[in-house]
Amino acid sequence: MYQTVRKILFAFDPESVHYFAMDSLRIACKIPLLKSTLHRSFSVKDEGLKKDVFGLTFKNPVGLAAGFDKNAMYLDELEILGFGSVEIGTVTPLAQPGNDKPRLFRLPEDKAIINRMGFNNDGVKAVARRVKEWRERREKKPTKNQVSHDDIPLIIGGNIGKNKITPNEEAWKDYEKCFNELFPCVDYFVVNVSSPNTPGLRELQEKDSLRRILSHLQTINHRHSSKRPLLLKIAPDLTQSQLDDIIDLAEEIKLDGVVATNTTIAREPLTANSKRKSDTIGAGGLSGKPLMERSTEVVKYIAHQSEGKIPIIASGGIFTAEDAQEKLKAGASLIQVWSGFIYEGPGIAKKICTGLKRLN
C-alpha cells in the first residue's frame, strides 16, 4: 500500500512532503482509537530484540538517524512506529535556517537521497525544552483510551554540532553549549563533525581537533554523577589512516561508541542516470542504497581494528532486515535508518525487527 502512496508523495517537493506526512501522523495520533490502532499495527515487542549497549537498554536495535526529527517534534509518533531509538538533531547552540532551498533531492532509481540541509534547526534551548516536555508527558499515568507505554522506553540520542558562523577554532564552545543544555533530557550524545553541508566542518575530524572537542566533553561528562554515553559520528569518506586515528582517539578518550556513517560526498556508486541528475543537483551528502557497501566496510574495519571494543551504530543503506543483519554481522551493535524510511515507509522498523527475528 505504501508503494502506491509513495508515488503520490514523490510527485511533490521532498522537504514539504516530509513535514506534511509527519504532521498528518501527529494529527492522527490525537485520536485515541486511531493512535491505539497505529500502535498495535507498527510496534514489535519481543525480548529477543532487546539490546544492552553502552549502559542503555534498547527495546530493539532499529533507530532513526539524526536529520529526520531535527527539532524533536515527532517523538510520540516515532515511538508509535516502533523505533527503539530516535536521534534528534543535528542541534546547534543558536537557531539557524540552514542552506537555501531546494536542499533535499530524491534519486528513486538508486533509492538514494541527496541533502544539503545545513544544520537547519530551532536552536538547542527550544529543542531541549521539547524533549523535557515530552518526557514529562510520558511520566504521567496513562488515562483511559491512551496507549500505555512499553516497559522499555524510547531511547533519545542528542546529535550536536556547531553553528555555521562559528569558526572551527571556537567549535568546542558550541559543542559544550549543546552538551550542557541537552544533558538533562537525552540518553546519549553524538558529536557530529562529519556533515558535508557545513563549510569546513569535516576538518574537525582531524585527530588534534577532535581530541580537543571530545576530551573537553568527557571532562564535563565526568563531573556528573551519572554520565551520558558519548559517541562520534564519522564520514564514510575517511581514509584508512584517518579511521586508525579515530580508533586510537576513541580508546584514548574512552568514547562510548561510533556512528558509522554519515552521508558521502562520493558519487561513484550511482548509476549513470542518477549520476547525471546528481550533477544537476550539485553539492550535498548522498545517502541510501549507494552508501550500503562503503558504510559496511567502515563498520567492519572499526570492529576488526578495535577488536570489538568500540560499540558501533551502523547507518547507511539499510532498507531491509537482510541489510540490518549484514551490518550486525560486520560488527555493529545497533542500526539506524533514514533514507530507508523514505523509500520503505512507516512500517520499516517493524519489518526489520520481524525480519531479524526470522533470520536469527
Catalytic residues: 195
Query: Distances in Å between the alpha carbon of 143 and those of 146, 147, 148, 181?
Result: 6, 8, 9, 31
**Structure-block grid coordinates of residue 195:** 556533515
Report the amino acid identity of residue 106: R
CB atoms < 10 A from the CB of 1, how many? 7
Contact yes or no for 25/73 (Cβ under 8 A)? no
Burial class (CB in 10 A: 0-12, 13-18, 19+), 143: exposed
The single-letter DSSP state of residue 272 is H
Q: Which three cell numbers stand for residue 294?
A: 562503503
Query: DSSP assignment of 8-57, as one string?
Result: HHTTS-HHHHHHHHHHHHHHHTTSHHHHHHHHHHH----GGG-EEETTEE
Four-point Cα dihedral 249, 255, 259, 264, nearest 10? -20
Rounded CA separation 215/17 (Å): 40
| Residue 40 backbone phi and psi in degrees, to 5 | -65, -35
User: Virtual CA dihedral for 42, 338, 72, 16, nearest 10 degrees?
Assistant: -100
CB atoms within 10 A of CB 131: 20
CA 122 – CA 71 distance, rounded (Å): 6
CA distance 255 to 215: 9
